[in-house]
A and B are shown apart, each in its own frame.
Chain A
Amino acid sequence: MATVPGEFRFGNFLASIIWIILIVIVLVTLVILPVIFIVLFYLPLPPVNGEILTPYLFLSEVVDPTRTLPIIKFLIHTTPFKVIVFPGFVFAAIIAAATIFVERKFLAKMQLRVGPLYAGVWGVGEGILQLAADGLKVISKEILIPSGADRPIFWAAPIAFVATAAAVTALIPVAPGWVVSNTNVGLIAVFAILGFFPLIALLFSWASNSKYPFIGGLRALHQMIAFEIPFILSALSVVILAGSLNLTEIALAQHHIWFILFLPISAFVFFISSLAELERVPFDLPEAESEIVAGWLTETSGMIYGLIQLGSYLKVYALAALFVILFLGGWSGPLLFPPQLGPPSINTAPTIEKMLTLQGFYNHLTVNATFWFLLKTVVIIMLMILPRGINPRIRIDILLHTGWYKLIVLAFVNMFVALALVYAGVLGPGGSLSVH
């Protein structure tokens, strides 16, 4: 079937646009507005700011910022907003997407090429829409399931992968008070959730009913278990110094001095282990292309692959953020933002800046904390990307040897340093340098 483009006439083009506008206007006036009114009159609306919300009030609030802002403010401090938007999934997913783009551009510059180039908006930001294009492509691809695959697990594993990665990001505090789940066992919860990943990889590789994915899954299992212990041990020395497992309190304990100054070896071990946990170069053995095709991802296609990629980049953000919280003081940093937006004025007309400040949207402490946290996280993410440009993949026996023999010993070395600091009364509960 051949499609021949019709002859282009500018008049027809304009006429089609005018038709579309007309149809939209007619639809809005005759169908959509009546439906909205019917719904608003028959549904009981929640009271906002002590006022009963009538449909008239609701519609006037839509156009009046002074009335809309309280509603938004109310929404921001609800749990669903935290879970879905700000410290939760959307925020993490945006960072993950940015990581993919930055990684491709950054690697391209290292390798003397240009990287994504064409999918941009009117020449602004070359290739910045590449991710959207890739996403559309991945969604439109057919999902192939190997014959003999265990279908329920095959479908569930990618979703579980993303969900588990999102669960890790839910425990990460971005600014004081801005965390989805502020538990007192935050660090243990992070490790407990991270422990699910090898299981998912193994289940998925087993469900694929194929040889290369199976080898890849076993490799993923070996690798993650070998690096889990140095991973936890290196974080343990931070717990000794901070005296808490709560991630917010760990970050607050480093208000004066970052723990990386006392625990450089732990930070190094933690960084290497997180590279292994993330299956990034040089530890990308479970996806070693030249040996086992694509490892445990061999049978993935379409959105299954897309979900696993999204999950693994969410993991990159989560572990980089964890590094920042444990070793780089979390959000601590000099105060850069003014306490108010715009010049302080008393009896002037309400501007948008003034309203934002007054209504409590703009909290300079929160903005400052988020800024420093993001800056440090981006630096750590860049450091995690860097080995991909300079290193080959290492072999499985060297990897296991590194994990079980070298990193565990190194992690213990710094734990003794931490204990010595606590017994000397320098840090830890009641220490001379710790935050009271």
Chain B
Amino acid sequence: MADLEERINESQKLGMQIIKESDDDRLMTLSVGPQHPGSGHFRFVVKVDGDYIVHCDPDPGYVHRGEEKMTEYRNFIQNIPHLERPVIHDSTNITYSYSLAVEELTGIEVPRRGQFIRAIASEINREIYTLYWLAIYGIFLGHSTMFMWPTGDRELFIDLLEALSGARVTHAFNIPGGVRNDIPNGFKDRCLRQIGYFEKRLKEYEDIFYNNPLVRQRTEGVGILTKEDAIRLGVTGSVLRASGVPYDIRKAEPYDVYNEIDFKVQYMKTADSFARAYVPFLDMRESCHILRQLLDKMPESGEVRAKLQSNPRGPPGEAYRRVESGRGALGYYIISDGSPKPYRVKISVGSFRNMLALPHLLVGAKMGDMPVIYWALNYWPVEADR
């Protein structure tokens, strides 16, 4: 609350009027979304005083599909295809933590080669998601080239995962016990070639977008989320790392083979929209680095999937596992009553946590900063609604 008072004082210093009951007819209320091109499947109601936003009220829930309830009617394996629907652009990562939690419940041991292939698929999918996110960030800033380039380069990684799993977007590749199938012949060379190309492209992205003075002018110093606020609001992933907290689940709670991989947690201390836009970019670069190591260290042969009984079940109990997805920590809390179906599944997604920072950042910002702040929060509305 002290923080809110500070913000009010600060904005009064700027000559901004703070919302009062009597001011309601003077302010303009804008309903941004769900048909607004700058909102996604999401709505936030903002009140503007001239060019300044004085009030923001996020209104998620337009694509609530009851994923958590749906899991209770299917067994552990059947749950995979529908669980990746909330974020199809990151479908490997959203089933990754589910598989980990089910494995912990049922006591399945994943073969080592399977663990590596999982991590490879996860990193490739992180690139796919981040490129998609970056494309939308580009067009939100009005930068049409930055919309086209990542969308085009994303195809390379989609092709890689298609070679791996047979599907372009919804792979259903990570399942309890390992991965669905082994990697095809020549996958390693193809992957390395595309990573080499992509690292060159990343330099070009930096030149045209991140080093563009106009992009800097619009994003730097906009929507500052201090380290304390970030921790207090519970944001995760790139948003937290952009606020100066070097926290990555892959490093903090290494799962599968991530403790054998040497990588740095990318973070920035400026805590503004530029940092939040730049950290995913650094993550993409780091993912290329991780992919090279994974391909290098992967065992040449072996099982990729543990032998399961037809309806895997474990003793009654509970499990909570989480992974680092493109948007932050993505956790599954599963309670099992000993039957082949879960008793209760709770999905904890990074998007929803990041969305909570939106009203905090938008109040006091300018109207033109709205898309810059909103999309830099790495928020995927469909995932938040689940």
State the A residues within 8 Å of B (CB): 107, 110-113, 211-212, 215, 281-282, 284-285, 288-293, 388-398
Contacts and interface: CB of A to CB of B under 8 A. Distances in A.
B202 interface: no
A390 B208 contact: yes
B371 A392 contact: no
A216 to B, nearest CB: 11
A284 B148 contact: no
Interface stretch (B101-109, B209-217, B262-270, B311-319): B209-217
Given A392-B214, A397-B51, A291 B28 contact: no
A278 to B, nearest CB: 15
A176 to B, nearest CB: 40
Given A211-B30, A291-B38, A398-B217, A393 B141 contact: yes
B247 interface: no
Contacts of B363: none
A392 B137 CA distance: 11
B148 A112 contact: yes
A391 B143 contact: yes
A280 to B, nearest CB: 11
Contacts of B146: 392
Contact of A394 (B38, B149, B214, B371): B214
Interface string B320-342: 00000000000000000000000
B249 to A, nearest CB: 31
A397 to B, nearest CB: 7
B212 A390 contact: yes
Contact of A393 (B51, B142, B148, B152): B142
A218 to B, nearest CB: 10
Interface of B: 28, 30, 36-38, 51, 138-149, 152, 208, 212, 214-215, 217-218, 366-371
Q: Is the interface of B mostly helix, strand, loop or mixed?
A: helix
B174 to A, nearest CB: 32
A113 B148 contact: yes
Given A111-B148, A113-B152, A211-B30, A291 B371 contact: yes
Nearest to A387: B214
B369 A282 contact: no
B139 A282 contact: no
Contacts of A393: 141-143, 218
A284 B37 contact: no
Chain A CB within 10 Å — which of B30, B138, B214, B371 has the most? B214
Contacts of A111: 144-145, 147-149
Nearest to A294: B37
21 contacts: A111-B145, A111-B149, A112-B149, A284-B142, A288-B142, A290-B37, A290-B38, A290-B140, A290-B141, A291-B370, A292-B367, A388-B144, A391-B143, A391-B212, A392-B215, A392-B218, A393-B142, A394-B217, A395-B217, A396-B51, A396-B368
B51 A290 contact: no
B214 A391 contact: yes
Given A211-B28, A293-B36, A110 B214 contact: no
A397 B366 contact: yes
B204 to A, nearest CB: 10
A292 B366 CA distance: 13
Contacts of A285: 368
A388 B366 CA distance: 23
Given A110-B145, A290-B141, 10 more contacts: A111-B144, A113-B152, A211-B30, A282-B214, A391-B212, A392-B146, A392-B215, A394-B214, A396-B367, A396-B368
Chain B CB within 10 Å — which of A112, A282, A389, A391 has the most? A391
Nearest to A395: B368
Contacts of B148: 111-113
A291 B142 CA distance: 10
A107 B368 CA distance: 25
